[in-house]
Amino acid sequence: MNVAVVGATGYGSGELVRILSRHPHVKIHSLVSSSRAGERLGTVFPHLAHLEHTLEEWNVDKLAKQVDVVFFAAPAGVSSEWLPPLAEEGVVAIDLAGDFRLEPEVYQQWYGQNPPPTAWLNQAQYGLSEWNAEAIAQADVIANPGCYPTAALLALLPLVQAGALEATPLVIDGKSGISGAGRGLKLGSLFGEVEGNVFSYKVGKHQHTPEMERILALWGKESHRVIFTPQIVPMSRGILVTGYGKLRQGWSEKDLRDCWKAAYEQAPFIRLLEEDRWPRTKEVRGSNFCDLQLHVDHRTGHVVLAAAIDNLVKGAAGQAVQNLNLRMGWPETAGLTMDPLFP
């Protein structure tokens, strides 16, 4: 099957190429770049210099004729404009950006961008693979989740759906490596500002807040406000999310673990860690795993949840390929069997 990636010089695309080049059922047909068309992949990503690809300009007619699937790994706003003409030609689209994840007015408010055409927005399925496999298998537009929502929702959904948590605000703390901010040069992402430093950003206004609230209400079947504070930590990859929620009367730690076990019995990428072993970003680095742990704090009646993922893999490119596998009816793990890199 022929696939294309848009946003070819970015981190998400680099990870897509790394994963897709070893996928048993996929041929990378086109790498589309708005800034470096004509250059070889190895000049943009020297770690992929062994792969024979030349970046290309966006050409909707050519892509529509020659590829079956397009991954969008570009900033918010690009897929809203570029995805519909391709989808109209029957190309399956998997979008790593936020354009197709939210209600239009909510997207406009939190992203400050015009939403995609409603007809295509209505076609889109949210690509949290473990929770929406049946719909993803039929979808022609897949909205890959945000990196922080992936980790937070995988931990929270089984408990919210079971009614274990009071309908009070959930507190979510997210720590991310700097690759989450993309490859572009930005103040705040410079080595001298990230190294030896830890800081919060977008407090009270992070665009993943409404995404978490929407999916908790839809699939958790109970509305929760989310207080989300993202932070940058001095590492290149990885996300550690810690969540806190008030437990309803009668719920024990064992009950909560049973909810996780039931939800993830068949989930090849979810690892429920041994009690007292807490998720660490280095233990999922480079892999599509999400490691989970929880603890009930009896003194306060709260549960503390933790999830670790690689932001570029389960938080982006890896989950996008997992969704491709679900969409095409291939084994969910195809192309994704890489073990974490450690240390």
Ligand X SMILES: NC(=O)C1=CN([C@@H]2O[C@H](COP(=O)(O)OP(=O)(O)OC[C@H]3O[C@@H](n4cnc5c(N)ncnc54)[C@H](OP(=O)(O)O)[C@@H]3O)[C@@H](O)[C@H]2O)C=CC1
Positions marked active-site: 147
Nearer to ligand X, 224 or 314 (CB): 314
11 binds ligand X (CB under 6 A): yes
Nearer to ligand X2W, 159 or 311 (CB): 311
Nearer to ligand X2W, 77 or 268 (CB): 77
Least Å from the CB of residue 116 to ligand X2W: 14
181 binds ligand X2W (CB under 6 A): yes
CA distance 66 to 57: 14
The stretch among 40-48, 52-60, 176-184, 243-251 that binds ligand X2W (CB under 6 A) is: 176-184
Residue 9 contact among ligand X2W, ligand X, none, beta carbon within 5 to 8 Å by kind: ligand X
Least Å from the CB of residue 66 to ligand X: 19
- Count of chain residues binding ligand X2W (CB under 6 A): 11
Residue 8 contact among ligand X, ligand X2W, none, beta carbon within 5 to 8 Å by kind: ligand X
Least Å from the CB of residue 127 to ligand X: 11
What length does the chain have? Answer: 343
CA distance 170 to 156: 9
Residue 230 contact among ligand X2W, ligand X, none, beta carbon within 5 to 8 Å by kind: ligand X2W
Q: How many CB atoms lie within 10 A of CB 109?
A: 13
Which of the residues 22 through 81 are near ligand X2W (CB under 6 A)?
76
316 binds ligand X (CB under 6 A): yes
209 binds ligand X2W (CB under 6 A): no
Report the residue from 115, 146, 220, 335 that binds ligand X according to the rule CB under 6 A: 146
Least Å from the CB of residue 9 to ligand X2W: 16
The stretch among 17-25, 173-181, 269-277, 284-292 that binds ligand X2W (CB under 6 A) is: 173-181
Say if CB 291 and CB 307 are below 8 A apart.
Answer: yes
Label each residue of the chain as H, E or C.
CEEEEECCCCHHHHHHHHHHCCCCCCEEEEEECCCCCCCEHHHHCHHHCCCCCEEECCCHHHHHHHCCEEEECCCCCHHHHHHHHHHHCCCEEEECCCCCCCCHHHHHHHHCCCCCCHHHHHHCEECCHHHCHHHHCCCCEEECCCHHHHHHHHHHHHHHHCCCECCCCEEEEEEECHHHHCCCCCCCCCHHHHCCCCEECCCCCCCHHHHHHHHHHHHCCCCCCEEEEEEECCCCCCEEEEEEEEECCCCCHHHHHHHHHHHHCCCCCEEECCCCCCCCHHHCCCCCCEEEEEEEECCCCEEEEEEEECCCHHHHHHHHHHHHHHHHCCCCCCCCCCCCCCC
Which of the residues 132 through 151 are near ligand X2W (CB under 6 A)?
146-147
Report the residue from 78, 87, 154, 160 that binds ligand X according to the rule CB under 6 A: 78
Q: Which residues bind ligand X (CB under 6 A)?
A: 7-13, 33-36, 73-76, 78, 96-97, 146-147, 179-180, 182-184, 311-312, 315-316
Q: Which residues bind ligand X2W (CB under 6 A)?
A: 76, 97-98, 146-147, 176, 180-181, 207, 230, 232
